[in-house]
Amino acid sequence: MYLVYKDIANFIHEIRGAHDANLMFYTVTDQASANQPKGIFVPLSEESGDLKEALVNGAIAAIWQKGKMLPRYTPNHFPVFLAEDPGGAVRLILKQYIEKLDGETEKTMNITKFDILNKKILNKNNETYDIAAMLNELSDKSNAASQERKG
């Protein structure tokens, strides 16, 4: 079960661009240079790269720092979720997504890949849960689903 637009819109209410509740996201990443088919780009630091590169690499939406100017080349239809704290938004989305997957009963399912390199920003508030552990849990679910499809 992929992450969908409405999952994010439940937490981030200020959105620019197209509104499609069923738009699916295959990847979530903080690196513009990463291959991100049907991806959500979340620039968490200056090292993340720019939106143009993310678009070239497959981004179809972004979680953007509220108040930060969007580049002029941003397509009008491109969904942009505006968050006060993009790192906090990713933390919350990841936590809720894992809970959603835990309630899923399908034996084989597709899972959104979270490829976040800047884990320090995600953990900056010393939350009671650890982002690295959450990402590992999601990876384990993805690997298990992949093994079931193969065998």
Give the mean pLDDT per block of 10 residues along the chain (151 residues): 94 95 96 96 93 98 97 96 94 88 74 82 53 67 61 55
Range of the domain at 33: 1-151
Q: CATH number, domain at 101?
A: 3.40.1390.10
Give how many domains the chain has, as a whole number. Answer: 1
* Residue owning tokens 């976040």: 116
Look at residue 107 in the predicted model and tell me its pLDDT: 64
Look at residue 15 in the predicted model and tell me its pLDDT: 97
Q: How far apart are CA 107 and CA 112, in angstroms?
A: 16
Q: How far apart are CA 68 and CA 107, in angstroms?
A: 42
Look at residue 53 in the predicted model and tell me its pLDDT: 98
